[in-house]
Amino acid sequence: MPMNRLLEYREANTGLSKREKIGQLFMPAAFINDSEEEIQALERLISEQCVGGLCFFHSRVSAATNYEGKKEITYNEQSFKTLQNLVGRYQQKTKHRLLIAIDAEWGLAMRIENTPQYPYAITLGALRDGTDLIFQVGKNIAHDCKQAGVHYNLAPVSDINNNPNNPVIGYRSFGGDKINVYEKSLAYVKGMQSEGVICSIKHFPGHGDTAVDSHLGLPIIEKSKKEMLSNELFPFKELIKENVASIMVGHLSVPALTKDQQISSSISKDIINGLLRNELGFNGVVISDALNMHAVSKNYKVKGELEWLAFDAGNDILCFAEHISEGIETILSNADDTQIEEAFERVWKLKEKAFKAEVEYPKELSKPHFLNEKIAKNCITLCIGNQNNIEALRDEGFLSMSNRPNTDNLFVTSLNQHCNFESITLADKSHKTTNGSIAGEENILISLFPPHVKPTDNFGFTPTEIKLINELIRSKNVVLYLFGNPYAIRLFEYQNAKAVVLAYQDFKAFQEVAAEHFLGNLVAKGKLPVVL
């Protein structure tokens, strides 16, 4: 932000009423693909309620609001340009410049089509010594955020994912080891900070060991405080020592940490003011997880009540608050002046810091392929078997089988340039010629691309596909390459395969690297980031 605009912003602080200061704590949702009528409604909200920021999502039927996935998402090839225009438009409607936030855990692509995408956190978790690469990921993502007008990236996920059935964290976590999660979170944070973009580690006090999606219900973690402090809370404790600017509190219940056994962390004074502020010494900005999520929203029917409870518990920013006017009035009626002033000061200082990194003239977005290729080479993991087993299968000849057709399988098409082999898909399994090919071939190279990144419905694999693959593993010499969430390998009898290689992503760079690995041109350097 140019210095004169920053000075004007600072001077404006002196003129805010108490109601306006409360408004600065609210961060309603903004949707990139809204109608003109919806855009104008948000413009009026910004002007009338003096809200402090906006959190952008793709559309009103995307994952942030369409939890059950029953509505069809309309894709917009021009979403990035639309986002830039909307940020500019909304900033024109505010008396005090808006803090613009987004979830860009693996890049703007998490919310916006045709923007740079970097690997999921679980992929980065497989890097043995990848802090330099992760720093660059954070730096590149921050660069892209700035070009969009975004100041505040609600990332990284610093949860320790130690539950294979976790429906909401999983691939978004760096893995199951607390040291690995801390070190990689810190590298990501430092990369973001190098570009001046604010980040928020999440989801305090640790959402990794849950089997309930907090978008739908309230997860409960039945662990002692001692267990939480030694594991789930470890990355947060260490990152607080590194002066991280912001922490997001998740919607989860940890009875050992609260007097109220049923309360969500996000509205618990014991957890926010007690544990986070007083015990762990965090003095930065606390932001709530989205207040529209059913873990909390379905329990509070009176408009403004949830917003008050979230503020009173210690949240400074109320993300995705849906009842702005009622929330402001309830806080105004119930909060004391000191409580309001302390939260406001933290948010105002965060905004001043964030605005210093604004760019007046946007540049090109980052180009992810080269960095993704370096990550792919360093994270590919030999999970089962050894290189000799792969070499033997390659030299003796093999049949290639995949759940993805060759036209969309760069791994197989890359190998075709160097090896002669027949390729079939799982969909071909009923054909007589295919059954004959399988019966007559002892060596099978299987490449699997999980249709879904989350564990729901077996990652998208059908029972028939799972049964066939397991039959092959039991009866043939199978080498298996997985291009997706490593937890998906648990669906199969992978321990009996001759070799299992985890490539983690289906990006072009990752498929090409996997092909080079199969051909013996590079060694697998990665380490499995979770316990299978």
The reply to whether 113 and 198 lie within a common domain is yes
Q: Tell me, what CATH number does 266's domain have? A: 3.20.20.300
pLDDT at 4: 52
The reply to whether 34 and 104 lie within a common domain is yes
Q: How far apart are CA 256 and CA 225, in angstroms?
A: 6
**Buried residues in 477-499 as b, exposed as e (16+ CB within 10 A):** bbbbbbbbbbbbbebbbbeebbb
Question: Which of 322, 355, 388 is at the close of a domain?
Answer: 355
End-to-end Cα spacing for the chain: 47
Q: Is residue 56 part of a domain?
A: yes
Q: Is residue 239 part of a domain?
A: yes
> Is 218 strand, coil or helix?
coil
The reply to whether 349 and 380 lie within a common domain is no
User: Which amino acid would we find at residue 422?
Assistant: E
Question: ∠178-181-186 over CA atoms, to 5°?
Answer: 125
> Is 130 strand, coil or helix?
coil
Q: Which residues pair with 382 in a beta bridge?
A: 501
Averaged pLDDT of the chain? 94
Domain assignment of residue 143, given as a range: 3-67+74-355
Alpha-helical regions (H) of 397-461: 410-416, 432-439
pLDDT at 64: 61
Q: Tell me, what CATH number does 381's domain have? A: 3.40.50.1700
> Is 524 strand, coil or helix?
coil
The reply to whether 185 and 231 lie within a common domain is yes
pLDDT tens, position by position, 141-151: 999 999 999 99
The reply to whether 350 and 400 lie within a common domain is no
The reply to whether 270 and 407 lie within a common domain is no
Q: Can you tell me which residue has the tokens 């092959």?
A: 472
Which residue, among 127, 135, 83, 125, has the nearest Cα to 108 in the 3D structure?
83
Report the chain's C-alpha Rg in angstroms: 25
Total of domains in the chain: 2
Q: Is residue 532 part of a domain?
A: no
The reply to whether 143 and 279 lie within a common domain is yes
pLDDT tens, position by position, 449-482: 999 999 999 999 999 999 999 999 999 999 999 9
Please state, as a whole number, how many other Cβ atoms lie within 10 Å of the Cβ of residue 387: 14
pLDDT at 12: 52
Spans in the chain with pLDDT lower than 50? 3, 6-7, 9, 430-433
Greatest distance between any 2 Cα atoms in the chain: 82
> Is 221 strand, coil or helix?
coil
Question: Which of 355, 389, 422 is at the close of a domain?
Answer: 355
Q: Which residues pair with 53 in a beta bridge?
A: 99
The reply to whether 213 and 144 lie within a common domain is yes
User: Which amino acid would we find at residue 105?
Assistant: E
Structure tokens, 229 = 């402090």
DSSP 378-391: HH-EEEEE-HHHHH
The reply to whether 22 and 132 lie within a common domain is yes
Q: Is residue 154 part of a domain?
A: yes
Q: How far apart are CA 469 and CA 410, in angstroms?
A: 21
Instruction: Fill in the DSSP letter of residue 107.
Output: B
Q: How far apart are CA 252 and CA 273, in angstroms?
A: 16
Structure tokens, 481 = 């390459």
pLDDT tens, position by position, 205-237: 999 999 888 888 999 999 999 999 999 999 999
> Is the pTM of the predicted complex or chain greater than 0.75?
yes
Q: Is residue 360 part of a domain?
A: no
pLDDT at 76: 86
User: Which amino acid would we find at residue 482?
Assistant: L
Question: Which of 305, 327, 355 is at the close of a domain?
Answer: 355
Q: Which residues pair with 459 in a beta bridge?
A: none
Contact criterion met (CB below 8 Å) for 411 and 483: yes
Q: How far apart are CA 400 and CA 468, in angstroms?
A: 14
The reply to whether 269 and 221 lie within a common domain is yes
The reply to whether 492 and 390 lie within a common domain is yes
Q: Is residue 525 part of a domain?
A: no
The reply to whether 444 and 387 lie within a common domain is yes
Q: Residue 200 to residues 4, 102, 246, 264, 288: CA-CA distances in angstroms?
A: 28, 11, 5, 19, 11
Q: Is residue 523 part of a domain?
A: no
Structure tokens, 280 = 């762990």
